[in-house]
Amino acid sequence: MGGLEIIFWAVVATLAFVGELLSFSFFMLFFALGAAVALVVALSGAGIVAQVVGFVAASLLSLIVLRPVLLSKVSLRGSERYVSPAGITGKSGVVTKAIEPGASGMVRIGDGEFWTARAIYPNQRLEVGSRVRVLDSDGLTALVESMEVEKGG
């Protein structure tokens, strides 16, 4: 009966893997892994009880240990967090692409978020490296003012 067990576990592993590919839920993948462990146990000549124990143990252990890790890697929690335009008001930043009068440039705000920016005063030019404060936003464009002290008399 060893040949039938090997075929059974190979089919279960294949079906579970195909099910995972179709659903991409990171659920069936662990049963495919459990079936692969049971297949290895069957190939080693162990009995059906050892195969079932290997299947259940590998499936549950991988489901409990690996699934949360995989889900956190592919979910939004693993990527950059979203910051709403209102969330940047009042923050300071540095100009990374000059803001010409009446035109847009680029600023790095806080810990490295890059935003398109315009000067709040239409005739103002802000050079690269200038420190700015976000006063408001217009859609996804930060409206900024210089934090530099103007020199002159």
What phi and psi values does residue 20 have, to the nearest 5 degrees?
A: -65, -40
pLDDT tens-digit map of 51-106:
999 999 999 999 888 888 777 666 544 445 545 556 788 889 999 999 999 899 99
Q: What is the pTM of this model?
A: 0.48
Q: Measured in whole angstroms, how far is the alpha carbon of residue 3 from the centre of its chain?
A: 43
Question: 104 and 74 in one domain?
Answer: no
In CATH, what number is assigned to the domain containing residue 118?
A: 2.40.50.140
Q: What is the domain range of residue 101?
A: 85-146
Q: How confident is the model at residue 32 (pLDDT cuts 50, 70, 90)?
A: very high
Report if residue 62 sits inside a domain.
yes
More confident residue, 113 or 54: 54
Better pLDDT: 147 or 76: 147
Residues 117 and 55 in one domain: no
61: left (phi over 0), alpha (psi -120 to 50) or beta: alpha
Whole-angstrom distance, CA of residue 7 vs CA of residue 97:
63
In a domain, 56, yes or no: yes
Q: Is residue 152 part of a domain?
A: no
Find residue 134's DSSP bridge partners. Answer: 144
Q: In the 8-state DSSP scheme, what is residue 102?
A: T
Q: 38-59 burial by CB neighbour count: b if 16+ within 10 A, else e? A: bbebbeeebeeeebeebbeebb
**Six token digits for residue 148:** 């530099």
Residues 8 and 57 placed together within one structural domain of the fold: yes
Question: Quick one: pLDDT at residue 1?
Answer: 58
